[in-house]
Amino acid sequence: MATQASRAAARAMLSPAVVLLLIWMIVPLAMTLWFSFQRYNLLYPDRAGFIGFGNYINFVATSGFWEAIVNTLLLVGGVLAITVIGGILIALLIDQPIWGQGPVRILVISPFFIMPPVAALIWKNMFMNPSNGLFAEAARFLGLPPFDFLGQAPLASIVLIVAWQWLPFATLILLTALQSLDSERMEAAEMDGAGPFARFWFIALPHLARAITVVILIQTIFLLGIFGEILVTTNGGPGNASTTLTYLVYKEALLDFDAGTAAAGGVVAVILANIVALFLMRAIGRNLDA
Amino acid sequence: MARAVPPARKALTTALAWAVGLLLFFPILWTVLTSFKPEPVAVASPPVFLDFDWTLRNYQDVQRQRDYFDYFQNSVILSLGSTILALLIAIPAAWSMAFVPGRRTKDLLMWMLSTKMMPAVGVLVPIYLILKWLDDMITRRTGIDVGLDSHVALLVILTLINLPIVIWMLYTYFREIPGEILEAARMDGATLRDEILWILTPMALPGIASTFLLNVILAWNEAFWTINLTVTDAAPLSKFITGFSSPQGLFYAKLSAASTLAIAPILVLGWFSQRQLVRGLTFGAVK
Amino acid sequence: MTSMTRALLGATALCACGLAAAAQQTTITIATVNNGDMIRMQGLSDVFTEAHPDIALEWVTLEENVLRQNVTTDIATGGGQYDVITIGTYEVPIWGRQGWLVPLDDLPADYDVDDLLPPIRAGLSVDGTLYAVPFYGESSFVMYRTDLMEAAGLQMPEAPTWDFIREAAAAMNNPEAGVHGICLRGKPGWGENMAFLTAMANSFGARWFDENWQPQFDSEAWANTINFYLDLMNNYGPPGASANGFNENLTLFQQGKCGMWIDATVAASFVTDPNNSTVADKVGFALAPDNGLGKRGNWLWAWSLAIPASSDAVDAAKTFIAWATSKDYTELVAEREGWANVPPGTRTSLYENPAYLEAAPFAQMTLDAINSADPNAPTVDPVPYTGVQFVAIPEFQGIGTSVGQEFAAALAGQKTAEEALAAAQEIATREMRAAGYIQ
């Protein structure tokens, strides 16, 4: 359907976005690459110069680098698992005929509107605090010793907080997909004697595959960059128990003010993010005939 | 769904759905309630739910310390401004990818998304230096503030970080629009401009509305660039909240009041527009 | 002339006046911590602007970590976003030496620089030049519950030993009744748990580095410090102590959940404030503990106001910081909010003021603690650095926080003391090597 003229027009319409994103990608990336080979600590402006791969070696040798990679994968994987499975269950539940579907939907999507630092502060102080938090109160009510969430299970606690923020997003997309499912097919299957579990497994789940892919893709992009929640709740600790790659870069950039090593860390993080993205594309990309 | 459901089962699912909804909503509810408690009540053991002396004192204290409306205004400017900018750039791009797809459209889209993978912390120092340079070159000479702590700089950055998502969301929505309609219009002699203005836009409006809302939410809640690149002039509510995170002494009630102030506008917007938001929030996942 | 043009002309004239007024007015941007004393200063700043109508103030009140990262990024790149910054005794000597701060050697005579407490003034000077003025100063000491001590049949000496602290913690510990024997900092951070642990280590005869900048976490003195700390906290500390910093412990103590608390002297006015503390009339004070080695476990810190060299309103900023740290400001706070609430620990004259001494029972103890801290000779064995609870080198923030993480992990039970110390030694060695202090 495309004529020569409309092709030219299409290119003209596409170019502002491409050019802007290209600049937004290339300028910081180029500067980051440049800094990653420089000795550049904000606190020592006079100590500067080319140091080859020194910053990279320094970053990779940081205690907890490998732990940070594992933590990053656990954080992303954990949140994805909770939000996808939880999202499917909640979507199935809300999709049932219930009284007050509208209000319930409003309740369910509300966490998505909460600013990340606010969410982290609320959870940390008012729920997970082992002296004054509501969880501690609940434990005391049950006669149990209060559990120190952020001290004993730091990464799991952060996964919980982040999953709470993203569960609504997953639920919404999955719910919309579920509602587009042809109800006649479901009914036909029911007539044929398929139980609810079989109906879900053989009809609903394949139908949701695309939606699940979208949820995983978008959330991964956002989750790889998470560090505000970690900063507010555990500062990456205790030890390195909740330090992710992004948080490690933060530590270099805004605690040590070592812009050189932070840049090297940024480059490493980009490479790893792209590896993850590649895997993702391989594994689930065929669901996404974008 | 026309299936007849036994009332007992409906009651059960209703109860379950409400329980899940209330559970997810509870942290927000608790924060709002705490914001009206006197500080000692906020940490009382056992916790007090509703039966306390409701007070507005926390809000007064918060307001005395920082003028909420300045920050609110900046949040509105930044989230709406960056969203409109992003839409202006993204609509033509998404249109062109959806209706005149090339061989590399899919790769292009994935590349755009991949620009979001650079960790912001890693590029903070370079960006800070660029903005300082802009301050020296332009702001000091012309008086037009485009550097650190300026609306312009933050608008540009927020636009760019959300642009890939906006393009993708619009693209998937545009693709659902049947191409035959366009061809028919073209037969009738419609120009490209007519096509976009009178046929596509009305059909795409739900998608655009939903993209608009999602982007406003994302921009409102952005809390890295806004905290690190602003001081006062362009500081939005994310910066507002950093003044209350752990002051000395009892602070739960004041923190709750500040949190409530920071989230209330977007929460209310989200509630009122959730239908519009949901309609286009499919990213092409619905066949 | 029509009325329309007249109105327009009038408006133009008005605008011109407005512009003229605005042109004369200098706006200074003040970055400060969200601590109670600073928030009070912000509240009282109307008095300043009334006296100085040509200066307008813009406040940026931030949580400590955010403040530090914003201000450091700005000052190191010469961003020039702030005219007055709130920094501590750690940053002032480093930044002063870098030439990032405006020297304050020309303060007016009535400011009375010589009235500043000598250890504080020394901490804010580089080679005799003052680079920041102290807003409030603090050391650390023991705060304890007089009623619980009495019930336990113990008497707190004025200068307790660490062994006595353990004995008292054991005697007062009663978790069933919600009372923990002792609350100490556990939250990782160079200014949180490491401030306490470094000061404590000083009294155990430990040090961060030897004279050649070799890290010393493999020494027996450090092992003793950490083992003692862990033993104390695991047996008599509150749950979740690895997340407790100053604010968390303050809240616990105010709620009556701690028998003892060793922390900043400024906490004294909060724990004795009947509006916020449930134990206000049951608090006693004692010097920080020691082990008989000649050093006590107390630190020295002063939140101070400084002017970045990149500021474009240096004169107005100077006027402001001189006002905010003056004797007049102290009087103003005393008049409006009572003597117990004046910012402590900066001026000799305050500790000679009978009205203050009467309102603040902890005054003499605070002064003694401050005067006994010596940033130039903080440890039992000689060291190449200054600073009591920190090491005044730029790398310390990063190293201190990473090491603090290890000790927090040990406190949370995720590592043993030996593992944490070995990791600390490894971190410090690597960072010091990377920074070129050692080979």
Give a three-class secondary structure readout of C306-334: ECECCCCCHHHHHHHHHHHCCHHHHHHHH
Q: Is A108 on the interface with B (CB under 8 A)?
A: yes
Is residue A72 pLDDT above 80, yes or no?
A: yes
Q: Which one of A35, A99, A265 has the shortest CB-CB distance to B126?
A: A35
pLDDT of residue A290: 47
pLDDT of residue B4: 64
Is residue A150 pLDDT above 60, yes or no?
A: yes
pLDDT of residue C34: 86
Gyration radius (Cα) of chain B, Å? 24
Residue of A113, A151, A96 lying closest to A129 (CA atoms): A151
User: How close, in Å, is residue B77 to chain C by CA atoms?
Assistant: 20
Is residue C30 pLDDT above 60, yes or no?
A: yes
User: How close, in Å, is residue A238 to chain C by CA atoms?
Assistant: 4
The interface pTM score, or ipTM, of the predicted complex is 0.89
Residue of A121, A140, A136 lying closest to A234 (CA atoms): A121
Mutation to test the A interface, candidates C34, C242, C254, C411, most A Cβ within 10 Å: C242
Q: Which residues of B135-163 are buried (b: 16+ CB within 10 A; e: fewer)?
A: beebbeeeeebbbbbbbbbbbbbbbbbbb
Residue that the structure tokens 């928030």 belong to = C39
Specify the length of chain B in residues: 287
Q: Is A120 on the interface with B (CB under 8 A)?
A: no
Is residue A3 pLDDT above 70, yes or no?
A: no
Q: Which one of A108, A132, A141 has the shortest CB-CB distance to B21?
A: A108
Write down which chains contact chain C via at least 3 CB pairs under 8 A. Answer: A, B
pLDDT of residue C4: 46
Residue A201 located in a structural domain: yes
Rounded CA gap, A3 and A19, in Å? 24
Q: Is C349 on the interface with B (CB under 8 A)?
A: no
Q: Is C341 on the interface with B (CB under 8 A)?
A: no
pLDDT (mean) for A254-280? 85
Give B88: exposed, middle or buried? Use CB within 10 Å, 0-12, 13-18, 19+: exposed
Question: pLDDT class for C14, splitting at 50, 70, 90?
Answer: very low
Q: From chain A, pick out residues whose CB is under 8 angstroms from the CB of C238.
A: 130-131
Say which amino acid occupies C409.
A
pLDDT (mean) for A106-116? 93
Mean pLDDT score across all residues of chain C: 90
pLDDT of residue C16: 43
Higher pLDDT, B195 or A162: A162
- Within 23-62 of C, beta carbons closer than 8 Å to A belong to none
pLDDT tens digits, residue range A195-234? 888 888 888 888 888 889 889 988 988 898 888 899 888 8
Under-70 pLDDT residues of chain B: 1-4, 246-249, 286-287
pLDDT of residue C19: 44
Phi-psi region of A243 (alpha: psi -120 to 50; beta: other; left: phi over 0): beta
Per domain, the residue ranges of chain C are 24-138+301-359, 140-299+382-434
Rounded CA gap, C236 and B162, in Å? 50
Specify the length of chain A in residues: 290
Q: Which residues of A77-102 are buried (b: 16+ CB within 10 A; e: fewer)?
A: ebbbebbbebbbebbbbbbbebeeee
pLDDT tens digits, residue range C354-404? 999 999 889 999 999 999 898 888 999 999 999 999 999 988 988 998 899
Mutation to test the B interface, candidates A26, A42, A110, most B Cβ within 10 Å: A110
Rounded percentage of chain C residues whose pLDDT exceeds 70: 95
Please say whether the beta carbons of B95 and A4 come within 8 A. Answer: no
Is the entire prediction scored with pTM above 0.90? no
Indicate yes or no: CB of B285 within 8 angstroms of CB of A249.
Answer: no
Per-residue CA distances from A32 to A22, A47, B174, C439 (Å): 15, 18, 36, 28
pLDDT (mean) for C419-428? 94
Rounded CA gap, B141 and B147, in Å? 12
Rounded CA gap, A75 and C378, in Å? 42
Indicate yes or no: CB of B119 within 8 angstroms of CB of A17.
Answer: no
Q: Which one of B129, B232, B249 has the shortest CB-CB distance to C29?
A: B232
User: How close, in Å, is residue C61 to chain B by CA atoms?
Assistant: 5
**Hey, which of A100-109, A159-168, A258-267, B166-175 has the most confident mean pLDDT?**
A159-168
Residue of A182, A275, A166 lying closest to A219 (CA atoms): A166
Indicate yes or no: CB of B64 within 8 angstroms of CB of C43.
Answer: yes
Q: How far is CA B179 from the centre of its chain?
A: 31
Q: Is A26 on the interface with B (CB under 8 A)?
A: no
pLDDT of residue A56: 92
Q: Is C183 on the interface with A (CB under 8 A)?
A: no
Higher pLDDT, A196 or C415: C415
Say which amino acid occupies A157.
S
pLDDT of residue A141: 87
Which CATH class, in words, describes the domain spanning C24-138+301-359? alpha beta
Q: Is C408 on the interface with A (CB under 8 A)?
A: yes
Indicate yes or no: CB of B227 within 8 angstroms of CB of C66.
Answer: yes
Phi-psi region of A94 (alpha: psi -120 to 50; beta: other; left: phi over 0): alpha
Indicate yes or no: CB of B249 within 8 angstroms of CB of C62.
Answer: no
Question: pLDDT class for C133, splitting at 50, 70, 90?
Answer: very high
Q: What angle do CA A217, A221, A224 make, to 5 degrees?
A: 125
Please say whether the beta carbons of A261 and A55 come within 8 A. Answer: yes
Residue C334, phi then psi, degrees to nearest 5: -60, -40
pLDDT tens digits, residue range B192-201? 777 777 877 7
Indicate yes or no: CB of C81 within 8 angstroms of CB of B243.
Answer: no
Q: Which residues of C91-122 are buried (b: 16+ CB within 10 A; e: fewer)?
A: bbbbbbebebbbebeebeeebeeeebbebbbb
C140-299+382-434 to CATH, choices 3.20.20.70, 3.40.50.11540, 3.40.190.10, 3.40.50.2300: 3.40.190.10
pLDDT of residue B95: 84
B117-121, C108-112, C134-138, C193-197: which has the minimum mean pLDDT? B117-121
Indicate yes or no: CB of C29 within 8 angstroms of CB of B231.
Answer: yes
In C211-326, alpha helices (H): 220-236, 246-254, 267-271, 314-324
What is the torsion angle, in degrees rounded to the nearest 10, for the CA atoms of residue C128, residue C130, residue C134 and residue C140? Answer: -30
Mutation to test the B interface, candidates A122, A175, A270, most B Cβ within 10 Å: A122
Q: What angle do CA C76, C81, C84 make, to 5 degrees?
A: 90
B85's tokens = 């900018």
pLDDT of residue A279: 81
Residue A109 located in a structural domain: yes
pLDDT (mean) for A16-34? 88
Is residue C171 pLDDT above 90, yes or no?
A: yes
Q: Is C188 on the interface with A (CB under 8 A)?
A: yes
**Domain C24-138+301-359 identical in fold to domain C140-299+382-434:** yes
pLDDT of residue A286: 66
Is residue C37 pLDDT above 80, yes or no?
A: yes
Residue of A170, A205, B11 lying closest to A196 (CA atoms): A205
Residue that the structure tokens 């001189």 belong to = C322
pLDDT tens digits, residue range C339-362? 988 999 999 999 999 999 999 889
Residues 6+ positions from A22 with CB-CB distance below 8 Å: none
SS3 B258: helix
pLDDT tens digits, residue range A133-148? 899 889 988 888 888 8
pLDDT (mean) for A76-102? 93
The CATH H-level superfamily of B67-242 is MetI-like (1.10.3720.10)
Rounded CA gap, B114 and A270, in Å? 9
Residue A53 located in a structural domain: yes
Indicate yes or no: CB of A130 within 8 angstroms of CB of C239.
Answer: yes
Residues 6+ positions from C97 with CB-CB distance below 8 Å: C126
pLDDT (mean) for C48-61? 93
